[in-house]
Amino acid sequence: MTLQQLKYAAAIAAAGTISEAAQALSIAQPSLTNAMKKLETELGIRIFMRTNKGVALSREGEEFLAYASRVTEQATLLEEKYKGRKIGKQSFCVSAQHDSFAMNAFADLIRLFGNEAYDFYLRENQTDEIIEDVVKLRSEIGVLCLNEYQKNRIQRILKDRELMFECLFVASPYVCVSSTNPLAEKHAVKPEDLEPYPCLSFERKTREAVCLTEEILNTLKRKKNIWVGDRATLFNLLIDLNGYTICHGIIGEGYNEKDIVAIPLLIEDAVEVGYIVNQKISRGSLCSHYIEALKNHAQQARLSPFHKMPLYYSA
């Protein structure tokens, strides 16, 4: 087993196909295929499984790549330190739900640590996709929410996939409405107060996504529903159509915060907002700094004037 083979495996996993990986590595596809066959034979495992779209990591491959990525990362750091090479491209990837505070923290990270060349990724995904991203090391960290509806199921999945959830804060449920909405005058709202207004939610594309949705009261039958695919559309329609959305109340900087009010929703529920990491790999420095940025933005949002009442924190 060589360092080069480990880098080859990481490139294939990132590209999703051997042909694209070979092109990125500037080597012939047969050479890359042979290198992987030799590595699998030596280790006695199957790293990649062929699919109709290319290749995918096997369960053994996921574990192998978790260790291999740390080996190649440390090798790069050694070369930079002792061979006098300039720092190469920094790479970091986050998967998150449609949370603007996660995006704000991501921007902070780039401002602090982005050098002349870097590859930073922010994937806005649904809960099931975030979990898969972290399991398969497409992302080093995933940001998600737990509520009473899906908490137990997600915790079982995380345990089975060897992922760890760390809570950043716990918040009572909030309703976000336009500052011109009649509900904006209230200090708190009940579920029945929402009935005249359209509810805006993020579209769930699969059955698994529906079961793991972060949305509170997702089983409640509503007369008016609007399903969208991205955060900006949701906020714009919320204002234009006098609608509402139910969330943990943290909107983040730069997303119509002056036009939106977060009001406590009077139900017995709580939202745990946190992050998941893969227990098979050690946490990188960029990941640690990103977590600190998340905490900072969450604390700022707690004191934000667009909240009718302070958020409830217990982490």
Pairing between strand 118-124 and 90-96? Answer: parallel
Domains of the chain plus CATH, in order, are 1-85 (1.10.10.10), 170-270 (3.40.190.10)
Q: Which residues does 209 contact at the CB level (< 8 Å), separation at least 6?
A: 126, 127, 128, 129
36-72 per-position pLDDT tens digit = 899 899 989 898 888 877 888 888 888 788 778 767 7
User: What parts of the chain have a pLDDT lower than 70?
Assistant: 70, 73, 76-89, 115-116, 209-211, 217-219, 251-258, 301-315
The two tokens of residue 86 are 């300039």
Closest Cα partner for 298 from 202, 167, 155? 167
pLDDT at 301: 62
CA 44-47-49 angle, to 5 degrees, is: 120
pLDDT at 305: 47
Closest Cα partner for 213 from 232, 227, 192, 193? 227
The two tokens of residue 270 are 């709580």
Rounded Cα distance between 178 and 262, Å, is 9
134-175 per-position pLDDT tens digit = 988 788 899 998 888 888 899 999 999 989 999 988 888 889
pLDDT at 80: 65
pLDDT at 214: 72
